[in-house]
Structure 1
Amino acid sequence: MKLFWVDVRPWRKNLATTAIESGADALLVDDAERVRELGRVTTIAPDGDLVPGKDVFEVEIVDKESEEEALRLSRQGQVIVRTQDWTVIPLENLVAQSERIIAAVSNAEEAKVALTVLERGAAGIMLSTDDPAEIRRVAEVIAGTTVPVSLVPFEVTRITPVGMGDRVCVDTCSILANGEGMLVGNTSSAFLLVHPETLENPYVAPRPFRVNAGAVHAYTLLPDGKTAYLSDLSVGDRVLIVEHSGETHEVVVGRLKIERRPLLLVEARSGEAKASLVLQNAETIRLVGEDGAAVSVAALAVGDRVLGSLAEGGRHFGIAVRETILEK
């Protein structure tokens, strides 16, 4: 997720409150104590969590020399860059060479440009505005900057019970929707899209915040392109939710439930690529079909087509690495 910082200098309580309520990651202020009275959020201030001139730097880009200064400072911390006429080229030059560039913007349109320059975008934006509504508009822009995931149809080739084991329910802090879910796989090179417990059934009430994601050893794809073992997730972590269209958003983990249950192995193929996943063997566990509809593992059949994603295999602490690794 891109960083969303708001400049509240001089102090304006209404702007600070709106920024906190809109999910701002940090507030730039003269006095951090005023922010702490309103809520818990990172402060950038002489007495703050991040100290200007030490952890965070501000540079106005006026020429090539100031560009080079911004790059030099980015080796020490995040750099807020300002341009006199908000031209894109200097920002492109900086984003191409550093992942610590925070673009100063004044509205949602400028934020959209800053977050998409060279496709990768700046690391975040620093918003300066007198309008609380503009803060909310920029928050919506930030929420929409997650990178889509390319989904492909997999044809189910095998479904077989594998006995008892420990599975993980990921209880999120969000109400999830039909047709979306978490990408989970036995390997880090291929994932299947596991549907949340949003649907009515005769046996248990829906749990629309929950994804019964798979066995403890399985990988899930995270918002930053890394992976994590399901069993390593914890409260406060962010996980990636993928819609059947490939659009994505992040949600926060509120709880994990790891329980011993009967398990089922699902194997599938997309062209030459293979995917597999061990799931709980129960009718409430569902994958996402090619049409976006949920398909219960109890009704799943060989030949059915479900959605998944392919990735570069081989991970070291969740980060993709180029080395000889065979996962099967």
Structure 2
Amino acid sequence: MTRAVWVKADDAVGDWDDRRARITAALEAGADWVLVDEGDVERVRELGDIGVAAFRTDGDVTMIDDAEGDETGAQPDAFVVGKDGEGDATIDLPSDFSGSADLSTLRRDGDVDAGAYVRILGKEYETFAEAATEEAEYTIVVGEDWTIIPLENLIARIGEETELVAGVTSAEEAKTAFETLELGADAVLLDSDDPDEIRKTVEVRDEAERETLDLQWGEVVEIERAGSADRVCVDTGSMLEHDEGMLVGSMARGLVFVHAETAESPYVASRPFRVNAGAVHAYVRTPDGGTKYLAELQSGDEVQVVDLEGHTREAIVGRAKIEQRPMFRLALETDDGDRVETLLQNAETIKVATPDGRKAVTDVEVGDELKLYYEDTARHFGEAVEESIIEK
């Protein structure tokens, strides 16, 4: 499931300076959407590239004409109804029902996605939210007291009918929303002025999407000098931690953990953004669970960074350096008795993970155990497939 962070920045936040501060913080943190009033759509477009949802106040999306009478790009990516709304006559609601989407407005055809904004104040509001999902691509539910109507009820009943966006006021609440019933909300709508809270909420989103890999040990059964080959250094746009690296290998089913160059060396300075990953033919794991050849990597691609416990995150490739260097060929045997291999540069700055800590590839011996990720599956164009492929 792909998670998303929305940031609320309508006129309830304050004047334009206050709203702009929230929108700017959302842009800088990497949020996915901002929820604003129709009149601010064009202003948001000028600030940066982000999904824009706008409260519809008059039943039609407002378009702004330029000096030549042409419509400008003031239309949002999604419109949202329900701000100060009065519900819908087709649902049995109390006479004082207010503050939720008008379903008749949602049913209108349009060129942009429709969203419903529903304040959960009691059981009848939950019923209304369920009805709104039949018409809305996005259903935003804001619980003023989640002890009355638990979020899990909505997650269980709405299912895949809509993108469920849960209103939250902190990163901690966002974490709960993403984890509820193990499925969690598809997105959260954060109502906070604190840039740090916005950033932390985006971090919670990223953590919710990341996988944790089950790493194992493989025994080195062969190691030899293999002559020269074209070697790839993957320079990322991120600073990597001391226990982080990448998974690379000659066989996609068995990828060896290679440390980032975070350690100091008497020969060269550390490069904590770099992984000297191996020869051009080798696979490297990507954040979507696929693989790419090292030779294919170029600036702007994403690669998966993994730590010794199997926790993963993504990093953007800033540069892939290909140079001819002397290599080692390492062959390892997995717990299942399978044999996997990789080529690594013959240099003491390339470190692999052993039970006793990191070890230079130049010091690796037969019988050593190295950290690796193994999955008994074949790959075709980087995607796992169920077919027999022999790699040797």
Match of 1:240 in 2: 304
Q: Which residue of 2 aligns with 1:58?
A: 115
Q: How many Å separate the matches in 2 of 1:240 and 1:71?
A: 37
Aligned residues, how many? 323
Q: Distance in 1 between matches of 2:161 and 2:284?
A: 28
Match of 1:275 in 2: 340
Instruction: Give the AA of the match of 1:4.
Output: V
Determine if contact 1:188/1:312 at 8 Å carries over to the other structure.
Answer: no
Q: Against the structure 1 CA distance between its residues 252 and 94, is the aligned structure 2 distance closer, same or farther, given a 3 Å change threshold? A: farther
Residues 157 and 268 in structure 1, CA contact (< 8 A), matched pair in contact too: yes
The superposition leaves residues 186-234 of structure 1 with CA deviations (integer Å, 9 ceiling, x where unpaired) of 2221111111111222222211110111222222222222222222223
Name the CA shift for 1:167/1:138 in 2 (closer, same or farther; >3 Å): same
Offset at residue 98 of structure 1 (A): 7.2
CA distance in 1, matches of 2:131, 2:316: 37
Q: Which residue of 2 aligns with 1:194?
A: 258
Deviates more, 1:184-193 or 1:81-90: 81-90
Q: Does 1:297 align with 2:342?
A: no
Q: What one-letter code is carried by the residue in structure 1 that aligns with 2:363?
A: A
* Percentage of identical aligned residues: 42
Residue 225 (str. 1) matches residue 282 (str. 2): no
User: Residue in 2 aligned with 1:6?
Assistant: 7
Write the distance in 2 (CA, Å) between the matches of 1:111 and 1:99.
19
CA contact (8 A) 1:149 1:309 kept: yes
Pair 1:322 & 2:379 matched: no
Cα-to-partner distance string for 1:236-289 (whole Å, 9 max, x where unaligned)? 222221111222222221111122222221111222233321122222112122
Listed as ranges, the matches of 1:169-188 within 5 Å are: 169-188=233-252
Contact 1:94 1:101 (C-alpha < 8 Å) held by counterparts: no
Aligned CA distance change for structure 1 residues 43 and 290 (closer, same or farther; 3 Å): farther
Contact in 1 for aligned 2:76/2:112 (Cα 8 Å): no
Are the equivalent residues in 1 in contact too, given 2:239–2:273 (CA < 8 A)? yes
Of the two structures, which has the highest relative contact order with CA contacts closer than 8 Å and spacing of 6 or more? 1
- SS of the residue 1:29 aligns to: strand
Corresponding residue to 1:151 among 193, 209, 215: 215
User: What are the residue-to-residue correspondences of 1:1-328 with 2, within 5 Å?
Assistant: 2-10=3-11, 12-30=19-37, 31-44=40-53, 47=74, 50-52=77-79, 54=111, 56-59=113-116, 60=118, 62=125, 67=130, 70=133, 79-82=138-141, 84=143, 86=146, 87-93=150-156, 97=160, 101-119=164-182, 121-145=184-208, 146-272=210-336, 273-291=338-356, 293-328=357-392
In structure 2, the CA distance between the partners of 1:167 and 1:48, relative to structure 1 (3 Å rule), is: farther
Distance 1:203 1:271 in 2: 36
User: Unpaired segments of 5 or more residues in structure 2?
Assistant: 55-60, 62-73, 80-109
- The 3-state SS of whatever aligns with 1:208 is coil
Q: CA RMSD in A?
A: 3.0
Cα deviation for residue 83 of structure 1 reads 5.5
Q: In structure 2, the residue corresponding to 1:258 is in which secondary structure?
A: strand
Equivalent in the alignment of 2:91: none
Unaligned runs of at least 5 residues, structure 1: none
For residues 26-76 of structure 1, the C-alpha deviation after alignment (integer angstroms, 9 at most, x for no partner) is 3333434323443444444563673446554424485578547637765xx
- Superposed CA deviations along residues 97-147 of structure 1, whole A, max 9, x for unmatched, are 479554443322331123224545444433233444432332342343322
| Structure 1 residue 14, shift from structure 2 partner | 1.6
Q: For the residues of structure 1 that align with 2:49 and 2:77, how far apart are their CA atoms?
A: 14
Q: Which amino acid aligns with 1:285?
A: I
Q: Which moved more, 1:251-260 or 1:128-137?
A: 128-137
How big is the shift at 1:309? 1.2
Residues of 1 paired with 2:158 and 2:231: CA distance? 41
Distance 1:69 1:325, change over 3 A: farther
Change over 3 Å in CA distance of 1:191–1:102 after alignment to 2: farther
CA distance in 1, matches of 2:299, 2:263: 25
